[in-house]
Each structure stands twice: as C-alpha cells, then as structure tokens.
Homo-oligomer: A and B are copies of this chain.
Amino acid sequence: MADIAVLGHGVVGSGVLEVMLTHRESITRRAKEEIHVKHILDLREFPELSYAASFTKDFQVILQDPEVKIVVECMGGLEPAYTFVKQCLSNGKSVVTSNKELVAAKGAKLLALAQRNNLNFLFEASVGGGIPIIRPISQCLAANEVGEIAGILNGTTNFILTKMIREHMEFGEALALAQQLGYAERDPSADVEGADACRKICILASLAFGTHVYPEDVHTEGITRITLEDVAYADAWGGVIKLIGQVKMLESGKITIMVAPMFISRESQLANVDDVFNGILVRGDATGDVVFYGKGAGKLPTASAVVADVIDCVKHFKARKYLFWEDAKPGYVEPFGSVLDAFFVHIKGESSSDAVFAQAEEKFPGAARIIRKDEMPGEAGFSVSGITENDLQAALSELAASGISVLNRVKISDF
C-alpha cells in the first residue's frame, strides 16, 4: 500500500479524493498497489465526509510521517504552497501538483531539488487540466525538435470570445454570463488579463525548450480591449479572434513568447476550439502539427490528471521521471517589440473610409484593406505584415499625430 497526503481540500483537492474513491479498483490495478490518502491538510473541517478522520490542520503531521512518500499539492497560490513543496522534496517525499502559478514561478528550482534528492516533481494537471500535454511533449516528442507551441490555454476567455463571435455579445455581457455560469471568478482579472494563460505558456516553453521562462518576461495582453468591431473585422479577414499563448524558437537560439489575442485563420486547427475548451498545437520538425484538445479546467478533469501523476509516481518510486529544465538565462527571451510580425489595425478619421485608409497606406506600404460589414464612415481596417511591434507603434503614433485615431490593433497568427 502507498500512503499519500493531499494538501488542500478545495475544488481540485476534493476532486482528487472523489476520483480516488470512485476509481479505487482500477487505480489499484494500474498502480499495482493500493493508494491510500492518509492525511488531508485543510484549515476547514468537513465532518460530513466519509474520510473526515483523515483531515489535519498541521502540515508537520504530514512532513514528519515517514510512511507518506507522495504529497499532492492542490492549495494553489505561491505561498505557503512553495514552502510546503520545498520541505516535502527536502524530506524524501515526491510531489504532484496542479498549481500552475507554483510551477511557472518556481519550476526550475523545484525540479532541481527533486533531482538532487532523486524524487519526482510532477505537474501534468497544471496545464490543460485533463488534456494530457506535459507527458506527450516531454516523452512522445523526444525524437522531434519542437519549434513552436501555440495554444488556447484559458477556458474562461475562450468562452467569452466564443460568445462575442457567435452571438455578438459585448465583452462585458459575455463576462457576466461566464461569471453567472461559474466559468469566471468574481475577480476575473487573472483570466481576462492573460495571467493564467501566461503561466501555462511559461510551463510549456520551459518544458519544450529546456530553459525556464518566468511570467514577468512574457509580453501579456488580455482580451479586455477586444470589441465586436474587431470580431467583425476578423470575420471579414477570414478568421476568428482567440487568446493565444505562443512560444517560438528562433534561429538565434532565443525564443519569442507572448500571450495576446490574435486573428487566427478559419483554416487553423485552433479556430474551432470553442467555448471553455482548450487546444494546444505543438509544431515539431518530424511530427508536423500535433494538436491536443479538451476541457482545460474543471474539478474532475484536473483531478484525474493529478491522480494519473500519483499512479505514475507509485509505479516509479525508484525511477526519476524525465522532467527537467534549467533555470532562466539572461537574454534568452527576445524582446517582444523587435520580432517581425503581422497585425490587424483598426483606425478612424474625419474623412471617408477610403481617404482614411489611403493615409494609413502611406505609413504602411503593402497594407491590405479589410472591409467589415456595417463599417462606419471614417472607419478603416487593414492588415500589415513583416513589421516589428516597435515600428508599428512608431508608425501608429505618426498616424495619430495626423488626426487619425487608432482604435485597436491585434496580432495576426502564423498558424
């Protein structure tokens, strides 16, 4: 029998218990021994639960229990999760976590600590909930150079954008609906400002390219500025707007990485990833594009990924897993503004749309006009490519100086 402990009995933690109890038999068969949740750390009490006796409020009970070889961290947030996980890994306990904030901020340190102590630190559930992605990237694609990863990594924003695209809801209305349905938190900023997607693309980038990328080094835009006009322009261009986390290896050995809303073509395999679903595209030199798709969050999908890691851990007590990456290195992330890119630009002037576009064309030779349904007088949209963010910014400032307001600009994807 393998004794484990679970830190935190919130949505994911209680889901882990639920999965462990409802699938006890098949889990035992797969792990080749019974897995027993000996302790659950939570400051609250749950007297009504069948396993109420397993609760403790004292982390030391878990840390000092030599029978507990695996600790499952489902507390979320950076502290005290980080301290607890460090102490577990320093005391002979492998750790499984669903905490993306922890992995994005401390992954390299915790992986190094796990390696030094010949323990496992696994986090399949931290990206994509129940979609297997960490293991496929690290293992199945081992004989393949990954060049790029792009994904719809946040279900809440994808739900909001889907409502804007399909039902022409305004952003605020779609957000309110998401909150009402329980898809968005009361404070939705981590979702709609892109921080959640940013943590996930950091983890994927670290894993795929072997060097830790910290969230603060990633250009991150949310979807709060996206309007129904942008959605209509995307449609006229031949695609949809999605919030994308993207990382690409450059020939220089540096990476470009960002989270931003993007125009993506209707032909793209991510274009039909709608509602609360996530989709992750991994572009390899040998495999071509491989896409993983499913529910990226939710109690049971996430819990089942956690439990799968636990099973893996039990089966490989004495074998270190393959997961590892180096800590960050200076200059590894190419500054966002200096990479050639493509953009959609939405402007408005006092004269006719044609005249406004003509003015823009002087600053952006080769700009391709996009005309949306119900375009307003003086309004114009166009795409421009082969330009850096910095140069775009400079040209848009000049346009603004000549009396043309820049209403929005949205990156155009290359996948």
Contact = CB atoms under 8 A, between A and B. Distances in A.
A135 B135 CA distance: 9
Contact of A140 (B124, B141, B288, B300): B124
A19 B308 CA distance: 30
B290 A291 contact: no
B304 A284 contact: yes
Interface in A275-323: 284-295, 298, 300-301, 303-308, 310-312, 315-316, 319, 322
Interface in A354-413: none
A30 B322 contact: yes
A238 interface: no
Given A141-B308, A316-B319, A300 B286 contact: yes
A269 interface: yes
Interface stretch (A59-67, A98-106, A142-150): A142-150
A180 interface: no
A288 B308 contact: no
A289 to B, nearest CB: 6
A288 B293 contact: no
A204 interface: no
B315 A287 contact: no
Copies of this protein, total: 2
A77 interface: no
Given A292-B290, A292-B292, A303-B286, A308 B142 contact: yes
B322 A315 contact: yes
6 contacts: A19-B144, A27-B142, A132-B141, A132-B290, A143-B307, A291-B291
Given A143-B307, A287-B301, A288-B301, 14 more contacts: A20-B143, A23-B145, A27-B142, A132-B132, A132-B290, A139-B312, A285-B300, A286-B300, A286-B301, A287-B304, A288-B294, A290-B295, A291-B291, A315-B322
Interface of A: 19-20, 23, 26-27, 30-31, 124, 129-132, 135-136, 139-145, 269, 272, 284-295, 298, 300-301, 303-308, 310-312, 315-316, 319, 322
Those 9 A-B pairs whose CB atoms lie nearest each other, nearest first: A143-B307, A132-B140, A130-B287, A286-B304, A290-B294, A132-B136, A291-B293, A286-B300, A144-B304
